[in-house]
Amino acid sequence: MRRCLLHLAVLALCLAAAPAAAQQPAEPDGYRMEDYRAPTPATLQGATVVDAAAVERLIRSGPVVLIDVLPQPPRPDKLPPGTLWRPPERRDIPGSVWLANTGYGALSAEMEAYFRDALAALTLGDRARPLVFYCDAECWMSWNAAKRAVAEGYTAVHWFPGGVKDWTAGGRPTLPNAPLPVK
């Protein structure tokens, strides 16, 4: 009887996990090109998938580069000329660099150079320096940016799919941030 109950409990756990697993898409071969706010894969080849606790450990263990890739909201088209517009505040994990707009599937040559040059500067040319990419939960942009860093030859790439939402869910602090300017 006890063994039967154990088997039933295991079966119930498997069935409960099946819908969640079915909702997670497979890792695509290329970059995600649209519908960026959607469930993400559980993996990223060449990178380590981390949660908020792992990000905390990376921060405590030594130099790590935290990179937010959330797009910067554009100025609304219908604002009258001369109207002062302030984009909404972005709050990030303390110490993060905001490389806005670098998580799209296709980047212009200018944005590719911005991303590549920023990574080189932030890591001081050390392709083994740990990098943590994030944005918001269920956002393919951090997945794309981490994949792009792996393609650039960075070997300690971490992808934090939970992003700011998971970071703050544990009561962790955030600070206002501004995007690193494109030169």
Q: Supply the pLDDT for residue 89.
A: 93
Q: How does pLDDT run across 46-75, given as a tens digit for each residue?
A: 999 999 999 999 999 999 999 999 999 888
The model's pLDDT over 23-36, given as tens digits with 9 standing for 90+, comes to 789 999 999 999 99
Burial class (CB in 10 A: 0-12, 13-18, 19+), 7: exposed
**Per-residue tokens: 14:** 């498997």
- pLDDT in the model for residue 165: 96
pLDDT of residue 81: 87
Q: What is the enclosing helix (H) or strand (E) of 97?
A: strand 97-98
Residue 1 has pLDDT above 70, yes or no: no
Nearest of 75, 88, 77 to residue 136 by alpha carbon:
88
Higher pLDDT, 170 or 161: 161
pTM (2 d.p.): 0.86
Of residues 97 and 86, more confidently modeled: 97
CB 142 within 8 A of CB 159: yes
Within a 13 Å sphere around the CA of 119, how many CA atoms are in the beta-carbon half?
A: 28
